[in-house]
């Protein structure tokens, strides 16, 4: 394990030294509201990988990471406020929801950003796209997602290891956009079986595959370079690369039964097992893993707590607490927490008022995200909202700022430029890292 960590650190140092961001910093990329510019020598991030935990549906910040006065949906006037009492954490003067006891005890390993905002309100798909892509959609350009941009800037470690794995709902929002399929995600429908669709057919053994590879090399002669066969060759090589992912070494990651039963029980539910698999994947060299927690609607609505979904929201929060706490402890025990950034995000928050059915609507003017590990300056809450968490009163953080912070934490210059054909496209839409985290 120590050799592996040292090797990763070496690769990270070399990669950071060769980053092509010097010229980009002179291009005058505008500031976005809430961004904080670094000095000419910004600190380099320590993270080798990112586990992006997605609470799809719109997790309520008042009921999780930014608790306010107690509300009551059962009162005649449905008093606005948090649905649960707050508890202190390991960070002085920072409280969270009473159902986040594990996270509360471990918050010194992380930081809450309570002032995230954007301008998409009533449409889940558009808000999800904004959080993943970092800028408004256009009719002319399909922008790449956060995960695709990360692996474009920092490829995976070693052959046969995917850069970007998605455990959740596949969508163009999470895709590579104009970067192309090379920077797409490996989508898992069954976390136990792994990428079974990439396995060789039963009638194609190893020797037969080797013969196919030799034939492919024979087709790579000079006279075929401008022939349609060249396209076929490229596609086939991509398929061969995909099949390597399903080789015995990589497939071992999906055998969770090799883990200690006590550890698996600590992670808990289906979502928890996905978090455990995420740890195994980043340990194997995967750069970016998105873990979706919106597949098991045990409260009837998931995190989209309209109407009666609010009543049993605590069940989701408790599962998040158990699994996230286990992931933190597991990474810390393996000395991987400083090199693994965990981000807990959602498409928007929810207002303090309760609707007619006792649930909540949507709110994007102020909500919370959680950053853990990654070698950041943890043990703090960044940003502040008003008495009912409806408006930001201090240190707003835009989505471009959020993305810039993730890039910087992974040693990526947030001012780097991508290209959609001849058109230059900055990694972020004028975002700047949250300086307090570095």
pLDDT higher than 80, residue 44: no
Considering the entire predicted model, what is its pTM? 0.83
Element (H, E) at 318: helix 313-333
Tell which wins on pLDDT, 237 or 368: 368
> Mean pLDDT across the chain, nearest whole number?
84
CATH of the domain at 279: 3.40.720.10
* Residue 213 pLDDT: 61
Q: Please name which of 337, 315, 335 lies closest in space to residue 325, comparing C-alpha atoms.
A: 337
Q: Is residue 93 part of a domain?
A: yes
Residues 399, 293, single domain; the answer is: yes
Nearest to 320 by CA among 288, 342, 353: 342
pLDDT of residue 235: 46
Helix (H, G, I), strand (E, B) or coil at 82: strand
Least reliable range by pLDDT among 25-34, 269-278, 384-393, 406-415 = 25-34
- Which domain, by its residues, includes 236? 200-245
Together in a domain, 186 and 302: yes
Residue 206 in any domain: the answer is yes
Domain assignment present for 301: yes
Let me know if residue 83 belongs to a domain.
yes
Per the structure, the count of domains in the chain is 2
Asked whether residue 126 is assigned to any structural domain, the reply reads yes
On whether residue 122 sits in a domain, the answer given is: yes
Q: How confident is the model at residue 236, as a pLDDT?
A: 46
Statement to judge: residues 277 and 137 lie in one domain: yes
Lowest mean pLDDT among 67-76, 127-136, 143-152: 67-76
| Residue 19 in this model has a pLDDT that exceeds 60 | no
Query: Helix H segments across 140-286?
Result: 146-153, 206-218, 228-245, 248-251, 261-267, 270-284
Give every CB contact of residue 348 below 8 A, 6+ residues apart in sequence.
58, 118, 120, 121, 127, 362, 363, 364, 367
Confidence of residue 21 (pLDDT cuts 50, 70, 90): very low
Predicted confidence at residue 264, as pLDDT, reads 96
Q: What pLDDT sits at residue 98?
A: 98
In a domain, 13, yes or no: no
Identify whether residues 232 and 302 lie together within a single domain.
Answer: no
Confidence of residue 209 (pLDDT cuts 50, 70, 90): low
Structure tokens at 436: 């307090």
Same-domain pairing of 282 and 144:
yes
pLDDT band at 375 (very low <50, low <70, confident <90, very high): very high
Predicted pLDDT of residue 7: 43
**109 domain-assigned:** yes
Q: Are residues 287 and 336 in the same domain?
A: yes
pLDDT surpasses 60 at 436: yes
């Amino acid at each position: 394990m120590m050799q592996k960590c040292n090797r990763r650190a070496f690769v990270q140092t070399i990669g950071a030294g060769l980053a092509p961001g010097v010229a980009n910093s002179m291009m005058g990329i505008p500031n976005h509201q809430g961004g904080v510019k670094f000095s000419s020598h910004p600190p380099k991030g320590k993270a080798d990988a990112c586990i992006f935990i997605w609470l799809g549906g719109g997790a309520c910040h008042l009921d999780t990471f930014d608790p306010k006065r107690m509300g009551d949906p059962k009162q005649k006037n449905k008093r606005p406020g948090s649905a649960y009492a707050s508890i202190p954490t390991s960070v002085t003067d920072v409280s969270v929801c009473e159902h986040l006891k594990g996270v509360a005890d471990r918050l010194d390993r992380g930081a809450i950003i309570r002032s995230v905002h954007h301008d998409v309100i009533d449409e889940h798909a558009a808000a999800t796209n904004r959080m993943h892509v970092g800028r408004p959609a256009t009719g002319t350009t399909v922008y790449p997602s956060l995960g695709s941009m990360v692996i474009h800037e920092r490829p995976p470690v070693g052959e046969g290891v995917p850069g970007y794995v998605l455990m959740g709902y596949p969508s163009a929002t999470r895709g590579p956009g104009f970067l192309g399929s090379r920077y797409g995600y490996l989508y898992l429908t069954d976390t136990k079986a792994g990428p079974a669709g990439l396995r060789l057919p039963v009638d194609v053994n190893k020797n037969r595959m080797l013969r196919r590879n030799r034939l492919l090399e024979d087709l790579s002669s000079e006279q075929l370079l401008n022939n349609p066969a060249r396209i076929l060759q490229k596609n086939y090589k991509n398929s061969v690369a995909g099949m390597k992912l399903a080789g015995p070494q990589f497939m071992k990651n999906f055998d969770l039964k090799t883990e200690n039963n006590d550890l698996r029980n600590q992670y808990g539910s289906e979502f928890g097992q996905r978090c455990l698999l995420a740890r195994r994947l980043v340990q194997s060299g995967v750069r970016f893993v998105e873990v979706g927690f919106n597949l098991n609607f045990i409260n009837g609505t998931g995190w989209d707590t309209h109407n009666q979904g609010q009543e049993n929201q605590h069940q989701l929060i408790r599962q998040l607490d158990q699994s996230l706490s286990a992931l933190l402890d597991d990474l810390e025990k393996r000395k991987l927490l400083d090199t693994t950034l965990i981000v807990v995000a959602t498409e928007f928050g929810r207002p303090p008022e309760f609707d007619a059915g006792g649930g909540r609507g949507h709110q994007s003017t102020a909500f919370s995200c959680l950053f853990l590990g990654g070698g950041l300056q943890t043990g703090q809450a960044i940003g502040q909202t008003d008495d009912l968490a409806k408006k930001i009163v201090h240190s707003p953080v835009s989505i471009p700022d959020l993305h810039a912070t993730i890039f910087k934490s992974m040693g990526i210059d947030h001012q780097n430029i991508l290209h959609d054909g001849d058109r230059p496209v900055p990694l972020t839409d004028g975002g700047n890292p949250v300086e307090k985290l570095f």
